[in-house]
Structure 1
Amino acid sequence: MTVVHSAPKFTLVENAKADLSAALGTMLLGAHEEHGELLFTVQRGEIENALRLLRDEHEYQQLVEIAGVDYPDRAERFEVVYMLLSLTKNHRIMVKVSAAENTPVPTVTTLWPVAGWLEREVFDMYGVVFDGNTDLRRILTDYGFEGHPFRKDFPMTGYVELRYSEEDKRVVYEPVELAQDMRSFDFLSPWEGADYVLPGDEKAATPPIDDPKVTEGPEDTGAGAKADAKAAEPVSEGAPAEVDTDIAEPDAPTPTEDRKGKAKRKKTAADTAAATETKKGKGA
């Protein structure tokens, strides 16, 4: 029994390179294979026609991504790379064009509407202008941002930074100020070890204590029968309650037993101290 799979077959790179190169004809500037993928370089002014040909006649239906690349040493420093996917062939190719800072690249929003967002990203990050894009605005950086972050001549720290000012009650832009210097890394192997002592490792070289202080028994802690007897005393010696200051306190209340007309208590309750203290040898 023959099993028919719904998944498309893979297109061989060698066959696709020859077929697509012949189809692009004079629009093609070069074609080569890199990392198992095909890259076609076409004329900048023919990018729309080339991608329409690949979409309609060679079944590369989907525009997956548009990316930018910066080569500052080249006369045309930028490359715009279009990544196409064929759902029927299960195959991917990349088509690229070159452009200078003041050289516009034709838009492909006429072929894929999603290209509008992708072209805005390349414009925002690299400064490449797309001719025919009716909504070419920044998409990732903030309002009023100057420069293009992915250019290799863009400073690592940027030009300005923004924060919310409580005084002005709005977002303000200020020159960039680094809170700390950029750290440097030595990239040494962790298995070989560094030539310097890392913070915290200096404790590993601390010698052990010769005579550590330990508590082998109750006598080392101060506990025992003597300490228990001291704690059982009802009033500590020299406590404020035992000291007569001989200072008259006119506003102090009169003791209950000394009030005039107060009947004496019956039995032993009159002796407060004797009634509250516990006799030795008896439990509480």
Structure 2
Amino acid sequence: MAVIHSAPRIASHDGVAATLEQALGAHHLRSHEEHGELIFTVAREGIEDVLRTLRDEHQYQQLMEIAGVDFPSRAERFEVVYMLLSVTKNHRIIVKTSTDENTPVPSVTSLWYNAGWLEREVFDLYGVVFDGNTDLRRILTDYGFEGHPFRKDFPLTGYIELRYSEDEKRVVYEPVELAQDLRQFDFMSPWEGADYVLPGDEKADTPPVDEPKVTDSPADTGAGADTDEKADDKVSAGSPAEEDGGDYRTPPPDPTEDRPDRAKRKGKTTDTKAATEPQATGGKGES
């Protein structure tokens, strides 16, 4: 039986770009299609109005993701990318805006609750500030972390890192040490900076053995019939402990199978009441 649904299996882009461009008005800067998706670039100041229009008037109900992108060569180096989904139309669009290190982007936490967490992630990793987010704290990096890890100008060396020390039971600060220097990669020494010897390298400078010792016969190991005969001799014969202690060896117990069987029990286990009662012996003062 065929199931008829209002949402198409594969949504079409026909007419969508023109309709949304007209709806966004002066906030719209440019749009294009890339990798099968419609991408709209809008002015930073109007991002909240743009997303409200798309949500309320064009049925893009869900904010799926907010991501950041860094282009260090641009004047406004950061792009903030909003990914929207229309459940009723089965259609997705991408909305972009740009900013720099100091200019905040209007928050959209008044439109979607999940935007608070997503904006915190972009702030933590890229340093983009969102105006109107009342809980703009780091969300992925550790306490006291300096800098923003996803900036492409983040230094690789010369700074400190923090980690939890099991020995000191606290967070410790240490200089950043990279075993592989990515900016000065040397193919002749790919693990430049390692201050330890890799397994197997400790034998590299050992000279070869001219006459290796072999153990092809019992004589090479000291084993043989003569050794077996002397193995039971008293090593401490004649010592004071040996003379005072007598034979130092305890004889082994008799094998269990050579012991006589236990006598068969008489009576039943229930006939033991009399055995627990005091018996008269006839002696004075005794019972």
The interval holding the TM-score normalised by the smaller chain is 0.5 to 0.7
Aligned residues of 1:59 and 1:86 also touching (Cα < 8 A): yes
Can you list the C-alpha shifts for 1:42-88, whole angstroms capped at 9, x where unaligned? 01111111101111111111101111111111111111110111112
- Summarize the Cα distance change of 1:170–1:7 in structure 2 as closer, same or farther, 3 Å threshold: same
Q: Output the amino acid matched with 1:73.
A: S
1:69 is paired with a residue whose SS is strand
How far apart, in 2, do the equivalents of 1:107 and 1:37 lie?
A: 24
1:136 equivalent in alignment to 2:136: yes
Partner of 2:283: none
Partner of 2:105: 105
Unaligned runs of 5+ in 2: 188-198, 205-213, 245-287
Aligned residues of 1:81 and 1:94 also touching (Cα < 8 A): yes
Aligned residues of 1:61 and 1:86 also touching (Cα < 8 A): yes
How far apart, in 1, do the equivalents of 2:147 and 2:220 lie?
A: 74
Partner of 1:37: 37
Q: How does 1:185-224 map to 2 (within 5 A)?
A: none
Q: Output the amino acid matched with 2:179.
A: D
Superposed displacement of residue 16, structure 1: 2.0
TM-score with structure 1 length normalisation? 0.62
How far apart, in 1, do the equivalents of 2:88 and 2:102 lie?
A: 38
Partner of 1:64: 64
Q: Output the amino acid matched with 1:182.
A: Q
Q: Output the amino acid matched with 1:181.
A: A
How far apart, in 2, do the equivalents of 1:120 and 1:133 lie?
A: 9
Q: How does 1:1-284 map to 2 (within 5 A)?
A: 3-5=3-5, 8-157=8-157, 159-163=159-163, 170-172=170-172, 174=173, 176-179=174-177, 181-182=179-180
Identity among equivalent positions (%) equals 67
1:125 is paired with a residue whose SS is helix
- Summarize the Cα distance change of 1:122–1:221 in structure 2 as closer, same or farther, 3 Å threshold: closer
How far apart, in 2, do the equivalents of 1:156 and 1:226 lie?
A: 69
Q: Output the amino acid matched with 1:79.
A: E
* Structure with larger Rg: 1
Question: Would you say how many aligned residue pairs link Structure 1 and Structure 2?
Answer: 229
Q: Output the amino acid matched with 1:32.
A: H
- Summarize the Cα distance change of 1:141–1:240 in structure 2 as closer, same or farther, 3 Å threshold: same
How far apart, in 1, do the equivalents of 2:118 and 2:138 lie?
A: 11
Can you list the C-alpha shifts for 1:132-159, whole angstroms capped at 9, x where unaligned? 1111122222222222111111112473
Aligned residues of 2:121 and 2:139 also touching (Cα < 8 A): yes
How far apart, in 1, do the equivalents of 2:45 and 2:242 lie?
A: 108
RMSD: 4.3
1:82 is paired with a residue whose SS is strand
- Summarize the Cα distance change of 1:231–1:122 in structure 2 as closer, same or farther, 3 Å threshold: closer
Can you list the C-alpha shifts for 1:159-193, whole angstroms capped at 9, x where unaligned? 32224579987534x3x435553167789xxxxxx
2:175 is paired with a residue whose SS is coil
